[in-house]
């Protein structure tokens, strides 16, 4: 993007589709969409394409969406619910517009469809922590469970949050998540598709962790949220 931008919005301001965020020096005639920034460029204007919060960094402007479904990206860690078992693969619902496929060879060594029944390993209704291995929009996406911390969920609780709130629950450089884990003593995994896996020592702390995450979800666009959550956790845990 150009070096000379005239930015028209304030940081963390609520913006809507069609709101002009900044004026550039040069002109581009064909509307160009920038998927990472959720803005598009038209003529000499940078315009918001979604309902969200403006984010200004180093003379550049982008929008953090406040609404919207999860859209997959290669390398994302997701938690999927198994919805189907095939001959050589499992079908997972990862709350995206596309089905996710987990091949049996990922899970079972020397897999042969004649000798093994996939239901003995993973069945419908199981939650799986996986990474997106292949996704090019033309075919259903492929998952992998090869990696640290990936695989079937056997303990703890799983809750769903709005995918657009995931960055807030994690916080800047993981600050919010660190706060949650250190205060409650729970092990919390926030998947990119808005599914959260919580493992706690006792029920009380898991209850508090869920409440805290719901608090973050409902107030995602507020300033000083980390402080509020800290106060909430101190009060609840006292």
Partner 1 sequence: MIEKPVLIRDDGLRHDGRKPEDLRPIKMQVGILKNADGSAYVEYGKTKVVAAVYGPREVHPRHLALPDRALIRCRYHMAPFSTSDRKSPAPSRREIELSKVIREALEAVIFSELYPRTSIDIFIEVLQADGGTRTTGLTAASLALADAGIPMRDLIAGVAVGKVDGVLVLDIDEVEDEYGEADMPIGYAASIDEIMLLQLNGVLTPEEFRRAIELAKEGARRIYDQMKKTLHDKYLRIIEK
Name the residues that contact partner 1, by CB under 8 A: 14, 16-20, 31, 33, 35, 38, 40, 42, 47, 49-51, 65-69, 71, 97-99, 137-138, 164, 218-219, 221-222
Q: Cβ of residue 12: shortest distance to partner 1, in angstroms?
A: 11
Side-chain half-sphere of 179: how many Cα atoms within 13 Å? 23
Q: Name the minimum Å distance from CB 28 to partner 1.
A: 14
CA distance 209 to 206: 5
d(CA 211, CA 157): 13
Q: Between 40 and 111, name the residue whose CB sits nearer to partner 1.
A: 40
> Residue 64 or 191: which CB sits closer to partner 1?
64
What is the token pair recorded at 1?
């993007």
CB-CB contact of 103 with 88 (8 Å):
yes
Closer Cβ to partner 1, 41 or 129, answer by number = 41
Q: 138: which 2 tokens?
A: 């033309």
100 vs 219: CA distance, rounded Å: 31
Minimum CB separation of residue 223 from partner 1 in Å reads 9
For partner 1, the closer of residues 70 and 197 by Cβ is 70
Token digits for 114?
A: 């004649």
SS (H, E, C) 53-69: EEEEECCEEEEEECCCC
Smallest gap from Cβ 31 to partner 1, in A, equals 6
Minimum distance of partner 1 from residue 190's CB (angstroms): 19
Nearer Cβ to partner 1 (39/189): 39
Residues 6+ positions from 17 with CB-CB distance below 8 Å:
48, 49, 50, 51
Distance from C-alpha of 5 to C-alpha of 23, rounded to nearest angstrom = 6
| Cβ closest to partner 1, residue 35 vs residue 75 | 35
CB of 47 to partner 1, least distance (A): 7
Which segments of the chain does DSSP mark as H helices, in order?
Answer: 104-107, 166-170, 175-184, 203-218, 225-237
């Amino acid at each position: 993007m150009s070096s000379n931008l005239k930015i028209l919005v304030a940081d963390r301001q609520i913006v809507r589709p069609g709101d002009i965020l900044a004026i550039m020096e040069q002109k581009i005639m064909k509307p160009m969409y920038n998927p990472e920034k959720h803005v598009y460029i038209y003529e000499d204007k940078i315009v918001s394409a979604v309902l969200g919060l403006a984010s200004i960094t180093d003379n550049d402007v982008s929008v953090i969406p406040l609404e919207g479904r999860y859209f997959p990206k290669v390398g994302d860690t997701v938690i999927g619910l198994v919805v189907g078992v095939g001959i050589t693969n499992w079908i997972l619902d990862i709350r995206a517009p596309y089905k996710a496929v987990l091949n049996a060879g990922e899970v079972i060594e020397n897999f042969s469809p004649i000798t093994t029944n996939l239901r003995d390993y993973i069945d419908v209704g199981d939650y799986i922590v996986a990474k997106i291995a292949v996704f090019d929009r033309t075919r259903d996406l492929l998952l992998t469970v090869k990696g640290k911390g990936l695989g079937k969920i056997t303990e703890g609780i799983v809750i769903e949050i709005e995918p657009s709130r995931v960055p807030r629950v994690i916080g800047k450089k993981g600050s919010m998540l660190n706060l949650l884990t250190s205060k409650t003593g729970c092990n919390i995994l926030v998947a990119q598709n808005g599914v959260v896996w919580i493992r706690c020592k006792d029920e009380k702390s898991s209850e508090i962790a869920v409440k805290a995450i719901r608090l973050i979800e409902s107030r995602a666009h507020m300033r000083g949220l980390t402080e509020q959550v800290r106060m909430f956790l101190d009060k609840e845990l006292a």
